[in-house]
A and B are shown apart, each in its own frame.
Chain A
């Protein structure tokens, strides 16, 4: 890449731009007063995660993230908002009365995690040589982790049947 910055610095800049966007949107998801706006902020976070996957050379995962999360899960959330007739206008009734305590707990856990990670992985570098081959992922799923794959597929089937049984009107 013939840039002034060089490839590693360009990746770093891209990381921080995406990361700050994601952080702002994530705070929006948990604080916004309008439930549809919160869902749209969640789209920004999920797209940012997909972009981080692509920065980390995990291209297949990035595509899967866009297809499943932005394509399917988000639509499911919007249907949930619609069917439960959540108030669309600005109301303050989405938060309960333990916001201060919740913020304290979240800050405490973030402090502990940040200290531990900085202490343990302080100088570690990523080895981003070339993108992961999708065939390597397929080999890994269907050779090493084939039992886990079968368990996950049975779980998905059970969850689908369970969701239909729960939501069906008798």
Chain B
């Protein structure tokens, strides 16, 4: 199998994630789009690991990315909950407390 099709799939998922981060305003949906982008990176890592003859390094890095993603979702959702508790809305374009 050519490696190009995996890389193209991963590029497509990544760009869908970029669109979601830019166009969505609900905090939970933005976190979901970030998950799409992280999964795209993982597909790339595993595909190149297979291209290099099943080098385990790529898969190990994919595991690290999964661990980081889990931590990111935990902290991100805690922040979204805190914002909801204080502002009763999780629309990201209404959260402009740090705007001068």
Contact across chains for A29 and B33 when beta carbons are under 8 A apart: yes
Knowing A29-B36, A103-B23, A137-B59, say if A118 contacts B4 (CB, 8 Å).
Answer: yes
| 10 CB-based A-B contacts, threshold 8 Å | A26-B17, A42-B32, A57-B54, A69-B66, A77-B28, A84-B28, A96-B23, A105-B18, A109-B18, A163-B74
Looking at chain A's contact residues, is the secondary structure mostly helix, strand, loop, or mixed?
A: helix
Which residues from 74 to 90 on chain B have a C-beta closer than 8 Å to any C-beta of chain A? Answer: 74-75, 77-82, 84, 90
In whole Å, how far is B54's beta carbon from the nearest beta carbon of chain A? Answer: 5
In whole Å, how far is B91's beta carbon from the nearest beta carbon of chain A? Answer: 8
Contact across chains for B46 and A53 when beta carbons are under 8 A apart: yes
Residue of chain B at shortest CB distance from A102 = B22
Which residues from 58 to 101 on chain A have a C-beta closer than 8 Å to any C-beta of chain B? Answer: 58, 60-61, 64-65, 68-69, 72-73, 76-77, 79-81, 83-86, 93-96, 98-99, 101
Contact across chains for B50 and A73 when beta carbons are under 8 A apart: no
Knowing A94-B25, A98-B22, A141-B60, say if A76 contacts B2 (CB, 8 Å).
Answer: no
In whole Å, how far is B84's beta carbon from the nearest beta carbon of chain A? Answer: 4
Give the distance in Å from the alpha carbon of A140 to the alpha carbon of B23 in the complex: 40
Contact across chains for A126 and B50 when beta carbons are under 8 A apart: yes
Could you count the A-B residue pairs with CB atoms below 8 Å apart for me: how many are there?
250
In whole Å, how far is A12's beta carbon from the nearest beta carbon of chain B? Answer: 6
B57 at the interface (CB under 8 A from A): yes
Knowing A53-B46, A72-B70, say if A35 contacts B28 (CB, 8 Å).
Answer: yes
Contact across chains for B2 and A61 when beta carbons are under 8 A apart: no
Contact across chains for B29 and A35 when beta carbons are under 8 A apart: yes
Contact across chains for B71 and A167 when beta carbons are under 8 A apart: no
Residues of A within 8 A of B49 (CB): 56, 58, 132
Contact across chains for B20 and A29 when beta carbons are under 8 A apart: yes
Residues of B within 8 A of A102 (CB): 18-19, 22-23
Residues of B within 8 A of A17 (CB): none
A5 at the interface (CB under 8 A from B): no
In whole Å, how far is A47's beta carbon from the nearest beta carbon of chain B? Answer: 11
Residues of A within 8 A of B79 (CB): 166
Knowing A35-B26, A141-B63, say if A110 contacts B12 (CB, 8 Å).
Answer: yes
Residues of B within 8 A of A86 (CB): 26, 28, 90
Contact across chains for B25 and A84 when beta carbons are under 8 A apart: no
